[in-house]
Amino acid sequence: MKGNLLLYQAGADAHIDDPLGGWMTSKQLAERDRIVFDIAATIGLPVAWNLAGGYQRDEQGGIEPVLAIHRRTLAACADVFLGGAPALT
């Protein structure tokens, strides 16, 4: 597949608790990421991805709920392409 590249925008605003109207649970978002990375790896397609969106806030007004989603995306990528997810807090 010379010359091909998958551009993947891993948005967190699709989360069901996002104030902009998401519909996917945390488990569904993790599965979405896993599917994208698995397919790319299986067919040998390079992936360039970015973390995007996400407007949830925690009780203190911080963005920890969004960061947790983004960490799970990173973990899925590392698991597929590096053979194991890094320890993320």
Instruction: Take residue 4 and report the two structure tokens written for it.
Output: 């091909």
Confidence (pLDDT) at 45: 95
Indicate whether 87 pLDDT > 80. no
- Give the Cβ contact number of residue 47 at 10 Å: 16
- What predicted TM-score, i.e. pTM, was given to this entire model? 0.88
Residue pLDDT, tens place only, 10-67: 999 999 999 998 999 999 999 999 999 999 999 999 999 999 999 999 999 999 999 9
Which residue, 29, 40, 49, 34, is CA-closest to 79? 34
Confidence (pLDDT) at 7: 96
Percent of residues in the chain assigned helix, strand, coil, to nearest 5: 40, 15, 45
**Element (DSSP H or E) covering residue 60:** none
The residue behind tokens 């807090």 is 89
